[in-house]
Structure 1
Amino acid sequence: MNANSTDAGVLVAIRSGTAPAAVVAGSRNSAAVDRRGFDSCVLAAQTGSASGGPTSLTLAAKLQESADGSTGWTDVAGAAIEPLISENGVARVNVRLPTAKRYLRVTETVSFTGGTSPTLGASSTLVLCGPDEIPAV
């Protein structure tokens, strides 16, 4: 780390996980994110409003890794949020990445009990952190 830097912004990079959307029950994956140069991250997921009157809802999110960004996706150990079970919730998990493969993606799973064609506003974000100052893009 640059000893003269007190700005956290030089150490992190924000990457979109899943785009904000009204999501039906099931799973969706983000695009691959290249983590080269970063040795840790925070996965943050959030819920918005639900429609369709479900009696309960769940949003689970986790990180997966791949060597090439398109095949062989596997779960990253310890990289799942505590599932969100209410509207307008936020959860996060801190993840060390020193042995992770080069590419990451977010996998979200939404489930409902009851309701008529329910949907849930959901999104996720990755905050990648490097051991040194990140060059401006």
Structure 2
Amino acid sequence: MNANSTDAGVLVGIRPGTVPAAVGAGTRNSAAVDRLGFDSCVLAASTGAATGTPSGMSLAAKLQESADGQGGWTDLPGASIESLTAPNGVARVNVRLSTAKRYVRVVEAVTLAGGTSPTLGASSLLVLCGPDEIPAP
């Protein structure tokens, strides 16, 4: 099958970003994702329930890039979602990867105000797309 096929599934790879979790205020990073063979992606982030009755909350997510997946991480231009400010929200951004370094990761930042030990359900996902059929992992 080739890129002219009507089966889009052969062009797409799904990779986890951050795992779904109830998280407190702060930042967490996903594992490095090898984007070799993919020239674009969608970064999607979502919020779940909030606990501890915070008076304010937000989830921001962005992609960073690295040549070796170990260090030297820098923000990938144009690869951040609009902050989510309510429970049970979803946001996404389309990202061109043709000039990105080989590895990407998701950086997620949760901000919480007020409440008693507040947490926010948060997660992210990468949907990678290649110009040609993607081999099975």
TM-score, with normalisation over the residues of structure 1?
0.97
Matches within 5 A, 1:65-104: 65-104=65-104
Residue matched to 2:52: 52
Residues 124, 3 of structure 1: alpha-carbon distance in 2 compared, 3 angstrom cutoff: closer
Structure 1 stretches lacking a partner, 5+ long: none
How far residue 75 of structure 1 moved from its aligned partner, in angstroms, is 0.2
Paired AA for residue 90 in structure 2: V
CA distance in 1, matches of 2:12, 2:82: 23
How far residue 56 of structure 1 moved from its aligned partner, in angstroms, is 1.1
Output one character per residue of 1:48-67: Cα deviation in whole Å (capped at 9) or x when no partner.
00000001100000000000
Output one character per residue of 1:12-51: Cα deviation in whole Å (capped at 9) or x when no partner.
0000000000000000000000000000000000000000
Matches within 5 A, 1:9-24: 9-24=9-24
Residue matched to 1:136: 136
Paired AA for residue 90 in structure 1: V
Structure 2 stretches lacking a partner, 5+ long: none
Percent identity reads 77
CA distance in 2, matches of 1:111, 1:119: 9
